[in-house]
Amino acid sequence: MVLAELGGRISRALQQMSNATVIDEKVLTECLNEISRALFQADVQFKMVQNMQANIKKIVNLEDLAAGHNKRRIIQQAVFNELCNMLDPGKTSYTPKKGKPNIIMFVGLQGSGKTTTCTKYAYHYQKKGFKPALICADTFRAGAFDQLKQNATKAKIPFYGSYTETDPVKIAQEGLERFKRENYDLIIVDTSGRHKQETALFEEMRQVSVAMNPDLVIFVMDSSIGQAAFDQAQAFKQSVSVGAVIVTKMDGHAKGGGALSAVAATKSPVIFIGTGEHMDEFEAFETKPFVSRLLGMGDWSGFMDK
Ligand X SMILES: Nc1nc2c(ncn2[C@@H]2O[C@H](COP(=O)(O)OP(=O)(O)OP(=O)(O)O)[C@@H](O)[C@H]2O)c(=O)[nH]1
Q: Which residues bind Mg ion (CB under 5 A)?
A: 114-115
Candidates 34-42, 110-118, 153-161, 171-179 — which segment interacts with ligand X by CB under 6 A? Answer: 110-118
Long-range contacts of 227-231 (CB under 8 A, 24+ apart): 227/43, 227/45, 227/46, 229/43, 229/45, 229/258, 229/259, 229/261, 229/262, 229/265, 230/45, 230/47, 230/48, 230/261, 230/262, 230/264, 230/265, 231/196, 231/265
Nearest residue to Mg ion on Cβ basis: 115
> Closest separation between CB of residue 154 and other proteins, Å?
8
Candidates 35-43, 54-62, 76-84, 174-182 — which segment interacts with other proteins by CB under 8 A? Answer: 35-43
Nearest residue to ligand X on Cβ basis: 193
CA distances from 269 to 159, 244, 261, 264, 305 (A): 28, 5, 11, 9, 17
Q: Of 9 and 120, which has the nearer Cβ to ligand X?
A: 120
CA distances from 207 to 9, 35, 204, 221, 299 (A): 45, 43, 5, 21, 49
Which one among 41, 50, 95, 110 touches ligand X, defined by CB under 6 A?
Answer: 110
Regarding 257 and contact with other proteins (CB under 8 A), the answer is: yes
Show the site string, 61-90: x = touches other proteins by CB under 8 A, - = not.
Answer: ------------------------------
> Closest separation between CB of residue 189 and ligand X, Å?
12
Regarding 287 and contact with ligand X (CB under 6 A), the answer is: no
The answer to whether 205 and 228 have CB atoms below 8 angstroms apart is no
Regarding 120 and contact with other proteins (CB under 8 A), the answer is: no
The answer to whether 268 and 255 have CB atoms below 8 angstroms apart is no
| Interactions with ligand X, residue window 126-165 (CB under 6 A) | 138, 141, 144
Beta-bridged to residue 105, according to DSSP, are 189, 217
The phi and psi torsions of 158 (rounded to 5 degrees) equal -65, 150
Q: Which amino acid is at 267?
A: K
> Closest separation between CB of residue 279 and Mg ion, Å?
15
CA gap 79, 59 in Å, rounded: 10
Return residues touching ligand X (CB under 6 A). Answer: 108, 110-116, 138, 141, 144, 192-193, 195, 248-249, 251, 274-277
Q: Which residues would be at the binding site for other proteins (CB under 8 A)? A: 37, 40-43, 46, 109-113, 140-151, 154, 195-198, 222, 224-229, 231-232, 249, 251-255, 257-258, 277
